Amino acid sequence: MKKIQKILVANRGEIAVRVFKTAQKMGIKTVAVFSTADRNAPHVQLADEAICIGEAPSNSSYLLGDKIIAVAKELNVDAIHPGYGFLSENADFAQKVIDEGLIFIGPKPKAIQMMGDKLAAKEAVKNYDIPMVPGIDKAVTEVSVAIETAKQIGFPILIKAAAGGGGKGMRVVDKESDLEEQMERAISEAVSAFGNGAVFIEKYVNSPRHIEIQVLADTHGHIVHLFERECSIQRRHQKVVEEAPSSILTPQIRKEMGAAAVNVAKSCDYVGAGTVEFLMDADKNFYFLEMNTRLQVEHPVTEWITGLDLVEQQIRIAQGEALSFSQKDLSIKGHALELRVYAEDSLQHFMPSIGKLETYKLPVGDTIRVDNGFTEGMEVPIYYDPMLSKLITYGKNRDEAIAKMIEAIELYDIQGIQTTLAFGKFVCEHPAFKSGNFNTHFVKEYYAPEVLEEAYKNEALVAAKLALHLYLKDMNRIRMPQTQPKPAVQTLFNK
């Protein structure tokens, strides 16, 4: 296959920047597409060419597959990288890209489609010896069938939408008398959210951990896994902190999960970079959940512990190269953490914080990486995902990576909007997180705005004390050696 010489990224923000950096490293020309809200965005600045494709709302710009393909053809682009979100897991878009004679940097449309339907995914992996949560792998419409299934596997059960994923349309049912009502709700929710009312039933796994395996598959039949990421720190199915490796996997379980993930990739004839998600229960049993057929937000932690550039691997695979390493060449070195920094107010129910980045200074350091999509002076658009940047830190071990994360959080200087940085610090300093003894309920269990407010208050008090101390020292030394502090100030100082 011919070498890719020009790539268009059908995306925006930090991931577009991320892909352009590797393309440039590889000597590949780059094309950005952008909406009117992103005229001054870094991804537009960085690309060799940039084309405005429409108005700010995603469905007038970044979701216009046909328009993006037309731009790609017009500019003699060889390949389209979809990033994550937007068109990245749209099988019809991938097919159109191919039909127009371009390369889609990702798996075949068939794999995207199969893994996008959770029931089709279960069907695909059936003969590949993959551990599954007990349940029914067919669409359930009859309440009687649901009751039968629930009795077999035992309550509590979880009703899930076949077209769902990411937690949308899930319902826990504790007892038989709630089942009919919850089924009806789940089905009507699935119809309105996905236009597909198919639901299925699984045993509800209590307080699970979310562990996912990165895989790479080339077009020559080679598949490897790049170990795991743990993403249990989430807030309403939005990941907050991710890490690699997981603090609870043993080498044996890691090997078993890796082998299972490679088999999932095999089952759908996977090509490219993909992620196989598992749930892990308190006894370290793991169960296949779903496969994400894109490069994920949290890919940098895997890059840091393996030394691989995943975007480079995606591009090499897309131009027909065979993987240049095998499983035995891969090992884990050190520990990496990622914090997603959102333009949200952690004290106000994580409401989007809109406004201008009056000050926007990012941390720098040897074991600090920031994947960022914004610059000082930019408005944070209300139309897209509110993630500003990803802060990734590295250490020889987990404790070092956590300490570096806390240090790096404090090096940020963002004025003009609220961010989740302090919330990230709260997580990293929490005993449950530090000990590794946590699960997907961490945020629900431990976080309340009051906890952060208290931390802010203490910080303000320390700052006030320090300022006063310096002020008094200064007065004594230079200006008015005899002057006593005013009583009101004295009170604050002695508190």
The residues assigned a catalytic role are 294
Q: Which is nearer to ligand MV4, 178 or 400 (CB)?
A: 178
Name the one range near ligand MV4 by CB under 6 A: 162-170, 175-183, 256-264, 291-299.
162-170
Beta strands in 236-330 (DSSP E): 238-244, 272-280, 286-292
Q: How far is the CB of 172 from ligand MV4 (least distance, A)?
A: 8
Q: Which is nearer to ligand MV4, 337 or 370 (CB)?
A: 337
Could you give the CA distance from residue 260 to residue 225 in angstroms, rounded to a whole number?
10
Q: How far is the CB of 252 from ligand MV4 (least distance, A)?
A: 23
Contact between 439 and ligand MV4 per CB under 6 A:
no
Contact between 19 and ligand MV4 per CB under 6 A:
no
Contact between 401 and ligand MV4 per CB under 6 A:
no
Question: What is the phi/psi pair of residue 487, to 5°?
Answer: -55, -45
Contact between 278 and ligand MV4 per CB under 6 A:
no
Q: How far is the CB of 211 from ligand MV4 (least distance, A)?
A: 9
Do strands 171-173 and 157-161 pair parallel, antiparallel, or not at all (unpaired)?
A: antiparallel
For ligand MV4, which residue of 154, 167, 307, 436 counts as binding (CB under 6 A)? 167
Tokens 């307080």 label which residue? 207
Sign of the torsion angle spanned by Cα atoms 13, 18, 19, 24: positive
Among candidates 341, 413, 410, 417, which has minimal Cα distance to 379? 417
Among candidates 132, 148, 133, which has minimal Cα distance to 183? 148
Please tell me the count of residues contacting ligand MV4 according to CB under 6 A.
17
Among candidates 141, 106, 137, 142, which has minimal Cα distance to 124? 137
Name the one range near ligand MV4 by CB under 6 A: 163-171, 257-265, 303-311, 483-491.
163-171
Grouping H, G, I as helix, E, B as strand and the rest as coil, residue 329 is helix
Please answer whether residues 433 and 233 qualify as being in contact, where contact means their C-beta atoms are separated by less than 8 angstroms. yes
Beta strands in 95-203 (DSSP E): 103-104, 157-161, 171-173, 199-203
For ligand MV4, which residue of 13, 165, 197, 395 counts as binding (CB under 6 A)? 165
Do strands 359-361 and 335-342 pair parallel, antiparallel, or not at all (unpaired)?
A: unpaired
Q: Which is nearer to ligand MV4, 30 or 439 (CB)?
A: 439
Q: How far is the CB of 123 from ligand MV4 (least distance, A)?
A: 17
Contact between 150 and ligand MV4 per CB under 6 A:
no
For ligand MV4, which residue of 8, 64, 150, 205 counts as binding (CB under 6 A)? 205
Q: Which is nearer to ligand MV4, 290 or 298 (CB)?
A: 290
For ligand MV4, which residue of 81, 210, 316, 369 counts as binding (CB under 6 A)? 210
Among candidates 340, 416, 418, which has minimal Cα distance to 378? 416
The runs of H, that is alpha helices, within 154-239 are 176-194
For ligand MV4, which residue of 202, 218, 230, 371 counts as binding (CB under 6 A)? 202
Name the one range near ligand MV4 by CB under 6 A: 12-20, 204-212, 346-354, 368-376.
204-212
Residues paired with 79 in a beta bridge: 7, 103
Name the one range near ligand MV4 by CB under 6 A: 46-54, 164-172, 267-275, 445-453.
164-172
Query: CB atoms < 10 A from the CB of 251, how many?
Result: 8
Give yes or no for a cis peptide into 245 (omega within 30° of 0).
yes
Name the one range near ligand MV4 by CB under 6 A: 51-59, 67-75, 199-207, 398-406.
199-207
For ligand MV4, which residue of 289, 337, 391, 421 counts as binding (CB under 6 A)? 289
Q: How far is the CB of 205 from ligand MV4 (least distance, A)?
A: 4
Contact between 158 and ligand MV4 per CB under 6 A:
yes
Contact between 279 and ligand MV4 per CB under 6 A:
yes
Please answer whether residues 104 and 126 qualify as being in contact, where contact means their C-beta atoms are separated by less than 8 angstroms. no
Please answer whether residues 148 and 183 qualify as being in contact, where contact means their C-beta atoms are separated by less than 8 angstroms. no
Give yes or no for a cis peptide into 131 (omega within 30° of 0).
no
Among candidates 119, 121, 105, which has minimal Cα distance to 26? 105
Contact between 440 and ligand MV4 per CB under 6 A:
yes
For ligand MV4, which residue of 106, 116, 208, 245 counts as binding (CB under 6 A)? 208
For ligand MV4, which residue of 11, 58, 214, 234 counts as binding (CB under 6 A)? 234
Q: Which is nearer to ligand MV4, 275 or 389 (CB)?
A: 275
String of contacts with ligand MV4 for each residue 109-148, x by CB under 6 A: ------------------------x---------------
Contact between 204 and ligand MV4 per CB under 6 A:
yes
Number of residues in the chain = 495
Tokens 């200006």 label which residue? 479
Grouping H, G, I as helix, E, B as strand and the rest as coil, residue 57 is coil
- The order of strands in the sheet holding 387-395 is 286-292, 272-280, 209-217, 223-235, 238-244, 335-342, 387-395, 368-372
The residues of the shown chain that bind ligand MV4, judged by CB under 6 A, are 133, 158, 165-167, 202-205, 208, 210, 234, 237, 279, 289-290, 440
